[in-house]
Structure 1
């Protein structure tokens, strides 16, 4: 049913050079104490607001819509909109009967267009076409509703156009005022910023930010995971290891991270993006070459595409786009947990006779102690006790630090069969029922190896963003036993970044198919 972790020797083949594990001498702050010899709990990603700082802009839009609606009786000729809003069938709802639908429609359309998202170089005049187009759509819809409800009191074209223009003018003026206040606040209170990417480009972007205070971003360091620590010199500290970046983000209260190339360019950069996101940083991509698919993130765009407001943002000429976390989809995750519990209970019921036979075989072949318990690392680095049928009698310390027991002479034929058929994993269904695990997810590992692999592979800790599972994407692709840890971590992170309920069902079907192929093949 499941496949074991990758082979340990592969873990040191790539990225295990001494310089990669060495702490850079250019860290922003020195470590306060030596790193503890235990698993560092993974950071639970902070909940990010979809439209941070949108309240002032939303207030401006609401007030402008109210002003446009209130001016309708004065703009419309007698017997037209004035009667419709004061003495006609709509009078019971008050003179501002259109205010509610207009405000709601504008809010939805502006949010969908990204007009409430933060900007590095905001401009109310640049947003004018987007504001005008959406306002016209909303007002035309409202006028159509009035004409359908009271044909005799339909809004005239002149009154409608005047109301739209009045609202757009007020909206632009209000947004311009808000932008000016924000620029002044940004100059007075700049936010600590980390620039991530190849050293040459990162220095150029950092220099631009230092020379233009209106952006409100104060660079405190550069992060280049591929840079040689001995060659990383300059006015700003250069961080060359994952641990240095983590410490800098925490100790310097970094709130913004600017990437100078798409984070999917390599796994180390993608790992830094996940780290910054988990610590609540706002993420920007300043990449003049364009923005491809970003691992675990999505590029903020407006309905106007690259030519819209989002595509025109920049850092002193360097094209910049906001990176947003993919939707958390809490409903789907709740469905996943419910599905896990129900399927695990059904599987436990159906597999009870088989599990009884396995337990009896282990008892007769290897003596007392049918169930093997071992500490593993789960969601956000929390430890839990994993259950398996015992296949080898070994002491607790050896099982926690020895990579694999495959081929061990102490393993009986029963134990070897259980391991090859993955029947020894059946007790983990109870871990799924308890909520320690999921049916599909990254395979859990022992604390000793989690610490070891996290030091060598920056993306390894990111596997703990999702509940661990009995099987996963890496396992159905053959990454079990003596295989690469780096490949395993890459597949696990890809599963998390592209997770869906259908993908879980597909992985379960592939796992079941591989199990039956084993049974039919008589392996």
Structure 2
């Protein structure tokens, strides 16, 4: 993987993205040239229309990211990839229509745009048909040696076996565990030179997965491996990079303290984030006000009670605040105000409520909370005080998620299906900690774009 603004991007995804960018620019140019030949127009140098070509490529590539066209499934299924490409092209062309209306100098003729779009669709599908399996194969995966033969080592093996994994386990080295789980691990005392063993297996990384590190770190071995140019990683750092979350089963306080991240010197990023929140919330409130009012009327028609409701949540530094949402449940959903976890096919949800939850319309009034500065567009979802008190007692590091401003959407929301249990909260916390540790405007932009994928293909909305 390569780290882009503190976020890890697989090499295969980066390569496919670069190929797509070249193809999209080439498609726009071909569309222009074909139409120019048809009408007998003199073809000027490509540089004279570069802004139009780049705007076409930019719009479609942003749409590809937004619909999840670079996800694991795109490398494994051509049918899945083609479906996402079709939606991305539709969204990209819609965005271009708005862009061309607002900035006429960037506009392509409708005939140019039609040719370019058709060519782009064909080329993108062909590239995935030719390269999809190759990019998802072992050719672009890193070979690793795992030091350890216990449950932690087995977890790495399970991760490597998943479809779309970025690593291949070249071998395990048993480090004297009392109860080894990996039966085919090579005992350390049978390897004369660990560094040579790593090189001979073609590994580019060694992952330390010991069950007990106290007085057991093979420092001389690790130093020798490191000086050969092979990367040495601790299991918590490895899992963070490969899964996009902080693994609570392997992490410890010292790793959180001494690893990079949680940077305090990000005043410029915070100022940019707040400026974006203000401008975007004002614009969104203006554009969605008719939708909010129509939905409120539908709620009132279906069930008794107010169309909007306030709910107390825990925000930055454990400060309480109220969020405003469109009511999606019956008015008597919670007796005496007692907090209750939502369930699958929750009977308390109304018919209108089920629809607005599925397409996230019920979240729109929270834009006002963003404008006030109590929330951001991107951040961990704020929980209710009753749940926070319970979760802080049962899940380690849960209080740390309140060190960043809560958001309407977040890294956990686009990576983990909706859940309402202690175990679900634990998994979502792993993603929230990753976001807090690796925050950057780039990650915020990625989350905002990918939120569209969640809206288009909702998973478990309750």
State TM-score, norm by structure 2.
Answer: 0.44
Indicate the structure (1 or 2) with the bigger Cα radius of gyration. 1
Q: Which has the higher contact order (CA 8 A, sep 6+)?
A: 1
State TM-score, norm by structure 1.
Answer: 0.39
